[in-house]
Amino acid sequence: MYLYSMENRHFHPESFRNKLPHFQILLSICLFLSVCSSSCKKEQFNTSSGISFSTDTLTFDTLFTSLGSTTKFFTIRNTQKQSIKISNIRLAGGASSSYRINIDGDAGTSFNDIEIPAKDSIYVFAEVTVNPNAANLPFIIEDSIEFLTNGILQQVQLNAYGQNAHFFNGDSLETDTVWDDNLPYVILNYLQIKPGVSLTINKGCDVYFGGGAALLVEGELNVLGTDTSNMVTFRGVRNDKDIADRLYDDFPGQYSGVFFLRGSRGNLEFLNMRNSSYGINVGNVRSADELLSMSIANAPEVSIKNSKIYNNAFYGLFGFLGKIYAENTLIYNCGKNVVGLYNGGQYQFLNCTFYARSSAYVSHSKDPAFFINDYFKTGETTYIFADAASASFENCIMYGTLEEEIVKDDVTENPTVVNLTFDKCVVKTKTPLSTSVFTDCKAEDPQFKDIFKNNFNLKATSPCRSFSTTNFPPVDINGFSRTGSTSDCGAYIFQ
């Protein structure tokens, strides 16, 4: 229908007037349908529940009282093709609950008229603080988050396991102290053992370290585990998992480590220490002034027996002009050196197993499993030289995935050279075994049962079997007897 004719350019008002009522009716119907359609689409909600949850139970692993937790979350998904309005979301325990929740960025205990667009989802975050009670064993803290949608009630359960503990936060021990296995021990920031004071940690004790925390020994530390079933454990405080469902207990670098300062002493038996940054650190100093007064006379002395030290960000065992004796000890998977002995010292290792490889958490691509030098470099050409530098390995395994896992660094100007010996050891080295460093050693794969599962027992075909001097401990790390005139080298005998 043309209202204006291009041929005769004449306007026909009578024609337009006759058709106008029909046009107005049609236009009115279209407008009505458009408004109704728009209005209905905007206000249309699903009348069933129509929501699903990414989990029906949110579980927090064992938490220590008053420390709080990591934040966990789940999602609420609208499974429908229309928007859904949740009438109410509430924390069942209300304001008195140990839990705190956050719905898509808003904190509170109750939320009304939460709308989720079609096929969309929102996040629910939760955290918990565990209040102390009288229980020695872990206890459970329960609550739930309730959802009311179109008259239908649903819930997600909240479970947390709490544990009381002895807490130390930047504290110092001024008198001799004994820890027994009644509650876990949690060290935050640091715990210092003062000069002349001893801390004895008895079998079965679990010692947890907060982020960056350290045990500083100026006096004496005695760790007295009795066997592999009653070890003393040093580990990070995190019992939970990360967002990728990986245990934090597997992560290196969760705390600083144990530091034996000048003049201190240590006796460590059946210690299971994991996931620190610097491991067992023997001989470090607190100031530059102490560097100049270091000598073998004021070196800390530490004995380590039947222990496991592993998954550390940098070192498993670090010596800094210190004195260490170790036997039947396993150290593995550390980011820098499994054993790093710097600026000299005096060290003896008997029937120990040392191993280095890359893992999901540490890279073993540059630094060797073992390193020793006899100096500390203070400038471009200036050194502090050690007054003693020796390390002996007897019946040990020193192995890894690099071509060279044993590095000795001497400075020719130093009158005290490194005296390094391996006797009846299985090693990974490019150095000819005919040199004076190696006495009757083997450069062969030790054939552990399963390095990827950290099983360092020996296979039946291992070259470590019946390969040792006549000097060896009476039992291995697991308590199996070593008999005969020779034994297996390493911390484990073949079973």
Query: How many helices (DSSP H) and strands (DSSP E) are in the chain?
Result: 2, 39
Domain assignment present for residue 140? The answer is: yes
Domain assignment present for residue 438? The answer is: yes
Say what the pLDDT of residue 10 is. Answer: 38
Q: What is the band of 181 on the pLDDT scale with cuts at 50, 70, 90?
A: very high
Residues 386 and 261 reside in one and the same domain:
yes
Instruction: Tell me what the pLDDT averaged over the chain comes to.
Output: 88
Say what the pLDDT of residue 317 is. Answer: 98
Domain assignment present for residue 18? The answer is: no
Q: What is the band of 139 on the pLDDT scale with cuts at 50, 70, 90?
A: confident
Residues 330 and 366 reside in one and the same domain:
yes
Say what the pLDDT of residue 137 is. Answer: 66
Query: What span, in angstroms and rounded, lies between the C-alpha atoms of 54 and 125?
Result: 12
Query: Helix or strand or coil: residue 354?
Result: strand
Contact 352, 396 (CB under 8 A): yes
Residues 203 and 106 reside in one and the same domain:
no
Say what the pLDDT of residue 48 is. Answer: 61
Q: What is the pLDDT of residues 340-351, one digit of tens each?
A: 999 999 999 999
Q: What is the pLDDT of residues 155-176, one digit of tens each?
A: 999 988 888 889 999 999 999 9
For CA atoms 76, 79, 85, 87, the dihedral sign is: negative
Residues 152 and 189 reside in one and the same domain:
no
Q: What is the pLDDT of residues 63-110, one digit of tens each?
A: 888 777 778 899 999 999 999 999 999 999 999 998 999 998 899 999
This prediction's pTM: 0.80
Residues 155 and 185 reside in one and the same domain:
no
Residue that wins the pLDDT comparison between 137 and 382: 382
Among residues 130, 162, 194, which one ends one of the domains? 162
Identify the domain containing residue 74 by its residue range. Answer: 51-162
Nearest to 441 by CA among 429, 451, 458, 456: 429
Q: Are β-strands 370-373 and 337-350 bridged in parallel, bridged antiparallel, or unpaired?
A: parallel
Query: What span, in angstroms and rounded, lies between the C-alpha atoms of 73 and 68?
Result: 15
Mean pLDDT, range 275-288, rounded to an integer: 92
Say what the pLDDT of residue 485 is. Answer: 92
Written as one string, the DSSP assignment of 185-250 is: EEEEEEEEE-TT-EEEEETT-EEEE-TT-EEEESSEEEEE--STTS-EEEEES--SB-TTS-BGGG
Among residues 131, 162, 193, which one ends one of the domains? 162
For CA atoms 233, 236, 239, 244, the dihedral sign is: negative
Residues 287 and 142 reside in one and the same domain:
no
Residues 158 and 224 reside in one and the same domain:
no
Mean pLDDT, range 188-205, rounded to an integer: 97
Domain assignment present for residue 480? The answer is: no
Among residues 103, 132, 162, which one ends one of the domains? 162
Say what the pLDDT of residue 257 is. Answer: 97
Q: How many Cβ atoms sit within 10 Å of the Cβ of residue 168? A: 20
CB-based burial label for 370 (10 Å; 0-12, 13-18, 19+): buried
CATH number (domain holding residue 67): 2.60.40.2310
Residues 322 and 206 reside in one and the same domain:
yes
Say what the pLDDT of residue 4 is. Answer: 31
Domain assignment present for residue 342? The answer is: yes
pLDDT at 381 over 60: yes
Residues 232 and 274 reside in one and the same domain:
yes
pLDDT at 356 over 90: yes
pLDDT at 323 over 80: yes
Residues 388 and 430 reside in one and the same domain:
yes
Q: What is the pLDDT of residues 3-37, one digit of tens each?
A: 333 333 333 434 434 444 443 434 343 333 344 44
Total count of domains within the chain: 2
Residues 266 and 338 reside in one and the same domain:
yes
Q: What is the pLDDT of residues 292-309, one digit of tens each?
A: 899 999 999 999 999 999
Residues 380 and 444 reside in one and the same domain:
yes
